[in-house]
Structure 1
Amino acid sequence: MTTTNGCAACASQPFQIFFVLAAGTAAAGVQPWLIGSWPVGMTAAVWHREMLLFGMVPGVLAGFLLTALPRWTRSPPVPQRVVRVLMALWLAGRLVHLWSPGMAAPIAASFILSVAMLVAVRVVKAGAMREIKVVFLLILLAMAAAAPDVMPADFRLRLALAAILGLIAVIGGRIAPALTASYSALRGAQFARQLPHSAEVAAALSLIIAIGLWCFDADGQGPASLAAAVLQAARLLAWRPWRVTGQPGLVAIHLAYAWIPLGLGLNVLRSAGLGVSDNAVLHAWAAGAIGAMCLAVMASMARRQSRQAFSRPAGSLAMFFAGVGAAPLRLLAELGMPFQLQLAALCWSSAFLLFVASYRRYLGLAR
């Protein structure tokens, strides 16, 4: 199918507007390190954190879930009026954030809860209770957005990261093997059975325990993170990532997921006092797993909804290189290397802007 027809197939889909808004928010979220300015009354770190965790990520989740929900639950598309109301609520949170982050937090929480309730109603009505864990994780993210500032300084940040990592494990853990199987089938290769159900359950429980201990900065993080890292790495290898080396978009999804066990491994080293900072662990997950997965999933859904799941729009390769490079550069900045923070911010911002430019037809931004 041609690009024009493919774009007609995904006209007026929820992902189109939300992915554009999320990509713009992602680029703006690193502006303190690119242009050296941010709104008066907040620090660069607060601007960065709130824009990405409670602006960009909820926008990506809304675009993905509202588009995928009809297929998951075999139900009609989400009405356009509902999408417009949710978009207005998201925009209200971002506009208020420009002058009052404290007032923006409840709006962000309301937006996330609204998406969660919409998903919950469809899931329960369809009897698709397999998806209910997505609802619980969205509620956890909403709780992080609404958490008061009187709590420990970084608790909101850790709780939000924990919820988002859980969503990546669930959603990314479905997309990566499914797309790998489809791509393998097109090339005449069979996709072997994944990990046994018991191993999947063990991987999930170990991740919950490890991230939970990290979230509360509790004892026992080292052994728990080591066990979770091994099981998450085994899960990733079971998807046969080497089979998609000819498709950069699929490679990006696997690389993004790989940052979950890599971050867990860094937390093992941190817990052992081997010179790894907590900030390094945090950014391995934030810039690596979350940032790269958001970018890869947005690109994948745009292609899939246009019925060109394995196409390569012009500029998409540069987009993926920039997105993949942002996390390692951010970790190098933790070692005190000069200009690495600015380079990481430049790669991050460029990746999301290149997404909009490369996928503009899929996003309804060009004829």
Structure 2
Amino acid sequence: MSTIPLGDPGSPASPPRGYALFALGFRPFFLLAAISGLALMLLWLWFWLSPTGFNHYSLVGWHSHEMLFGFSLAIIAGFLLTAVRNWTGIDTPTGTPLALLAGLWFAGRLLPFVPTTLVGLFVLIDLLFLPALITALSRPLVKAENRINRLFLPLLVMMAVANLLYHLEAVGLLATSRSGISLMINSILLLLIFVSGRVLPFFTDKAVTDAAPRFSKQREQAVYALFLLWALSDLLLPNSWPPMLFALGVAITQAWRLYDWHHPQIWNKPILWVLFAGLVWLVVGFLLKAMAQIGLFADNLATHALTAGAIGVTTLGMMARVALGHTGREIGANRVMVLAFILINIAVVIRVFIPVTELLSYPTCITLSAVAWSICYLLFSIIYLPILIRPRIDGRAG
């Protein structure tokens, strides 16, 4: 499988002037993701410690939906709107169309707080975001010669179906919200597996002088086959041996990938090791999912290893790297961002493993994990706000 670059640093010039928030997709959506990663977690913690309820969501339902269809989807949108242009050479929305797309995403986040009379309107607004994103990406993906990139379109369609399933229960029509959340998690994980296979070997080869990431067609086929078998068996035969075995298979093939891509020097480069750490959480998460299938580990904790761990850690690293590469800056992490990379992993450890030890109460674990996560995204927001809103330092468009 070929590896795909995501932007190269240019030559530093004079400090950029003016604003370029809507010059390319990663800018508004990474900023929205960072702000929502901070705000949604603090709101979740506030409401969880002193439950007041929502008009249209359960508290856990709102938290699950917003971390997936709000926070995570903003990162996915920003990444794809940027990467697809880079991969295909065909423009994706910028300027006013991009601002409108970002505004559509933001309006969907207001749903739990609007009056009952407006629920239907805001459900529709939230449901429209993914079709709008698909429309924005369809032209460059379909016109480009590389057909493999078109796989993003059915993945986004799966996410749109997942959002519909969630909202059908939220408005009292069908009891499908759990299925929607599960489908969205699996869609994001599949996208993460697909994208990491395309970009992480490239990142490693570019950052480490004597690195030689290995590709195996048989391994990649096994990765996708086992993941799809796991997702299907987990849906049809939960808490049984087949999904346990397939979860083990996913963990083993992901570990095989990391072994083939690994080089000791990656641990000297935080902007790279954070991505490897995210994929380590993918391995750990599926090992824990296998244990959960036979009652040896709490399923909700295993799920957080995949969501907060694999998705949360990997996407933080991707945002940090992509934003630097596409603004012409040197690709690296300063001490503040290294602290953020460490904090997000600490947050996942506290959320996933400390409850099992019973060293701290469950509410204390959730509180500490949420605080560590929030500090991480506060630091990211402070460091990356000027990067995301100002023009490229090399004078190029984007």
TM (norm. structure 2) is 0.84
Give 5+ residue unaligned stretches, structure 1: none
C-alpha distance in 1 between matches for 2:112 and 2:38: 16
| Residue in structure 2 matching 1:332, options 353, 359, 364 | 353
1:199 counterpart (219, 222, 226): 219
Partner of 1:163: 187
**Match for residue 350 of structure 1 among 363, 375, 382:** 375
Which residue identity lines up with residue 311 of structure 1 in the other structure?
Answer: G
Tell me the CA shift for residue 138 of structure 1: 1.1
Q: Distance in 2 between matches of 1:169 and 1:7?
A: 38
Matched residue type, 1:181: D
Match in the other structure for 2:299: 278
Q: Secondary structure at the match of 1:310?
A: coil
**1:131: how far off?**
0.7
In the superposition, relative to structure 1, how do residues 284 and 7 fare at CA in structure 2: closer, same or farther (>3 Å)?
farther
**Which residue identity lines up with residue 220 of structure 2 in the other structure?**
E
Deviations 1:254-275 (A, max 9, x none): 111122221111111112322x
- 1:132 deviates by 1.4
**Equivalences for 1:163-182 in 2 at 5 Å?**
163-182=187-206
Structure 2 gaps of 5+ residues are 1-10, 394-398
Aligned mates of 1:79, 1:313 — CA distance in 2: 29
Identity across matched positions, percent? 24
Cα distance in 2, alignment partners of residues 114 and 350 from structure 1: 32
The question of whether the paired residues in 1 share the 8 Å contact of 2:93 and 2:136 is answered with no
Q: CA deviation at 1:179?
A: 0.7
Q: Which has the higher contact order (CA 8 A, sep 6+)?
A: 2
Paired with 1:152 and 1:61, the residues of 2 have a C-alpha distance of: 24
Alpha-carbon separation, structure 1, partners of 2:93 and 2:293: 45
1:320 aligns with 2:341: yes
Q: Is the 8 A contact 1:159 1:215 kept in 2?
A: no
Secondary structure (helix, strand or coil) at the match of 1:307 reads coil
Aligned ranges for residues 23-172 of structure 1 at < 5 Å?
23-30=34-41, 31-34=43-46, 36=49, 40-41=54-55, 42-99=57-114, 104-147=122-165, 148-149=168-169, 150-172=174-196
TM-score, normalised via structure 1 length: 0.90
Q: Which residue identity is paired with 1:84?
A: A
Q: How does 1:166-245 map to 2 (within 5 A)?
A: 166-185=190-209, 189-192=210-213, 194-218=214-238, 219=240, 220-245=242-267
Q: Pairwise CA RMSD of aligned residues? A: 2.5
- 1:130 positional shift: 0.9
> Is residue 282 of structure 2 the alignment partner of residue 260 of structure 1?
yes
Distance 2:355 2:123 in 1: 28
Number of residue pairs the alignment of both structures matches: 362
Cα distance between partner residues in 1 of 2:120 and 2:301: 27
Kindly provide the CA deviation profile for residues 309-328 of structure 1, in whole angstroms up to 9, marking residues without a partner as x. Answer: 52224511111111111111
